[in-house]
């Protein structure tokens, strides 16, 4: 599970980096949604 989690978190970081470079708030929202999804899974 930790490898899968690390991979997903790395994807979120990449998404956030792209969003910052492009000034794209929609990408930031997608990253936040993914982080919330990860948190929900961890809380189960």
pLDDT in tens, 3-26: 999 999 999 999 999 999 999 999
pTM (2 d.p.): 0.82
Kindly indicate the confidence band of residue 44, based on its pLDDT and cuts at 50, 70 and 90. confident
**Gap between the Cα atoms of 43 and 27, Å rounded:** 24
**Gap between the Cα atoms of 40 and 23, Å rounded:** 27
């Amino acid at each position: 599970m930790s490898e899968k989690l690390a991979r997903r978190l790395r994807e979120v970081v990449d998404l956030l980096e792209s969003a910052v470079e492009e000034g794209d708030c929609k990408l930031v929202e997608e990253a936040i949604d993914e982080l919330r999804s990860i948190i929900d899974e961890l809380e189960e």
